[in-house]
Amino acid sequence: MTVNSVENIEIIPTGEALGAEVRGLDLSQDMPDDVIEKVTEAWGEHLVLLYRDQDLTDEDIIKYSGYFGGHQAAGARQQRREIGMKDAGKGSPTDMRINYVSNLDDDGKPTQHNRGIGSHEIRWHSDNTYVEVPPTGTLLWAEIIPDDDSGNTMFCNQVLAYEDMPDDMKEVIEGKHMMHDGSRTTANLVHPHRTMPESQEEIDGPVHPIVRIHPLTGKRVLFLGRRWNYPSTYIVEMPGDDGEELMDQLWAHATQEKYVWSHSWRTKDILQWDNRAVMHRRTAVNPTQKRVLHRTLIKGDPVISAWENNAAAE
């Protein structure tokens, strides 16, 4: 029996609306085709997979992403690189396939504020929806984790959120699209290579349908991305107060506790989530303790609009 074999795999659901722990695999080792098939099946069912006690290098993480389509460079980072700007933060990797999510300052000490998100809470979002083809998924591996259970990552199931949506709300959002602003950082600051928009006409970003079709299951998925303050996020067909009210309702519905699973990190955990079908957020981190995680994005496939695929599963 090889190190990674289907016979060794044990899948343990969280018991919540999404998420499962996968045991019996070493992600630093090669994955046979039947193992990838089994993992892909579990990923489709549970949307977020957790692997514990994984001794991984950045190359291991990138290699693992290759089983699901390969890496995708983070959109804003790619744009900065193209105009000759250096990556922010001391020790940031030069490899565009990986980036570090940390609360360290330029001296390597934990802090509340750094050039990234620091130790702040992060609001609900999907990764990189400000590009035309957002990543399929995300891999996030924990190198250093605080010992006080701060900085948990929470996920909400947007397949269920759409399925459970009242019929009258489904009717209201039918055919509607949302603008996804690409000017802001995760910390809600303007990117150094961009200008903060002051009106909807100045928004620079893609327009995505509020509901997309999942390419593997054919199911409809609520697709909200990240909501910034006016004017950066708006419904194209409802750009005024009515659109703001509808977005309030959508985010309140999509992030209900019944759709959420919260992950409490341990060192050497790695999470694999489906960026097409979940949103995630992070609770605040203790700014006196180090937190360093390694992330790569899994190459995306074009967004399939539910409005142009009415024959797809409802």
Q: Report the alpha-carbon angle 122-163-49, nearest 5.
A: 50
Residue labelled with tokens 């509020």: 210
Mean pLDDT of the region 170-174: 98
Whether the pLDDT of residue 1 is over 50: the answer is no
> pLDDT tens digit string along 272-313?
999 999 999 999 999 999 999 999 999 999 999 999 865 443
Beta pairing class for 270-274 and 137-144: antiparallel
Report which of residues 116 and 83 the model is more confident about. 116
> pLDDT tens digit string along 33-89?
999 999 999 999 999 999 999 999 999 999 999 999 999 987 455 554 554 545 545
Under the banding of pLDDT at 50, 70 and 90, the label for residue 203 is confident
Residue 13 CA to residue 43 CA, distance in Å, equals 11
Give me the pLDDT at residue 93, please. 64
What single letter denotes the amino acid at residue 126?
S
Give me the pLDDT at residue 314, please. 41
Q: Are 114 and 100 in contact (CB under 8 A)?
A: no
For residue 231, say if its preceding peptide bond is cis, omega within 30 degrees of 0: yes
3-state secondary structure at position 79: helix
> pLDDT tens digit string along 230-258?
777 899 999 999 999 999 999 999 999 99
Q: Are 297 and 72 in contact (CB under 8 A)?
A: yes
Whether the pLDDT of residue 229 is over 90: the answer is no
Residue 314 CA to residue 304 CA, distance in Å, equals 14
| Least confidently predicted of 15-24, 42-51, 93-102 | 93-102
Residue labelled with tokens 């750094």: 114
3-state secondary structure at position 251: helix
Distances in whole angstroms, Cα of residue 100 to Cα of each of 117, 141, 248, 297: 11, 9, 32, 12
